[in-house]
Amino acid sequence: MLIRLGYDIEFKIPQAVAIVALLNVHPSREKDLRGPDELHIEPGVKADRYIDRFGNKCTRFLAPQGKLRLSNSTVIEDSGEKDLLNLYGNQHNVEDLPVDNLIYLMNSRYCEVDRLSNVAADLFSNAPYGWGRVQAIVDWVHSKVRFGYQHARATKTALDVYTERAGVCRDFQHLAITFCRCMNIPARYATGYLGDIGVPASADPMDFSAWFEAYLDGQWWTFDARNYVPRIGRVLMATGRDASDVAITTSFGLAELTKFTVVTEEIRQSGLPLSFSA
């Protein structure tokens, strides 16, 4: 299937400020692109493009004072398959893990492994080893945490989510990631496009989405504590330890968001979006 991807984001810049943007499709999905994946910056500025330590494609530039617009529109080919499952996926012993994955067992900005280890042990020590344990964590977080945009808070950590039992999609993932790490399962945060493909359309405006990946049987597997059922059409943009590593924009000074539009939709050969029918 073909999926149309795009965004249109605007900021008010009080004075010139350096910005780093992670708004491109992840390098692992570049082969699937059927059009240019270019970050358009208005007004035009010099931009440096690089790959960060997590393998994400980044753009750094100096935004001048005034209105800043970031936009893109492209098409990607997708298998049309739901998230892959490996119900018998085995968990690795820590001493056998690739050394690059050890960082995904440790504390990070939003994932306090040390403060939730005892809680995780009480909740999940008896869960099946490997895939079954990750699924038990996803089940618990999905059933115990209440979703609501009014619960969003930039400083909210996994411990806060566990205590308050409410949050937005990134909060669900932070808590699940932390519990996985507590059980010695490497887990990393993922962000990208996830449209309402194969599911009823949401009444909420489209947005970028968050999920997480757990390392089992020698590879990373997709899990989602918020969008609970396997989904079609995930398009990865970035991975990191938590949301702090994959912010779509990081400004080193003031930048006021004034417009935010995201589009991700399946397209017919005729170019018209497909509509969902139950």
Give the CATH number for residue 132.
Answer: 3.10.620.30
Q: How large is the average pLDDT for residues 218-232? A: 95
Q: Which domain holds residue 137?
A: 94-244
- Model confidence pLDDT, tens digit, residues 44-102: 999 999 999 999 999 999 999 999 999 999 999 999 999 999 999 999 999 999 999 99
Does residue 276 lie in a domain region? no
pLDDT > 80? residue 272: no
Same domain, 100 and 73: no
Residue 225 sits at φ, ψ, to 5 deg, of -80, -15
Same domain, 240 and 251: no
Q: Are strands 209-216 and 187-193 parallel, antiparallel or unpaired?
A: antiparallel
Cα–Cα distance measured from residue 104 to residue 106, given in angstroms and rounded to the nearest whole number: 6
Helix extents (H) in the chain: 113-124, 131-144, 158-164, 169-182
The pLDDT confidence band at residue 269, using thresholds 50, 70 and 90, is low
Cα–Cα distance measured from residue 232 to residue 2, given in angstroms and rounded to the nearest whole number: 12
Same domain, 234 and 255: no
Residues 101, 215: contact at Cβ < 8 Å?
yes
Same domain, 186 and 161: yes
The pLDDT confidence band at residue 276, using thresholds 50, 70 and 90, is very low
Does residue 6 lie in a domain region? yes
Angle at 227 between CA 226 and CA 231, to 5 degrees: 155
Same domain, 75 and 103: no
pLDDT of res. 278? 28
Same domain, 234 and 252: no
Angle at 24 between CA 78 and CA 102, to 5 degrees: 90
User: How many domains does the structure of the chain reveal?
Assistant: 2
pLDDT of res. 277? 32
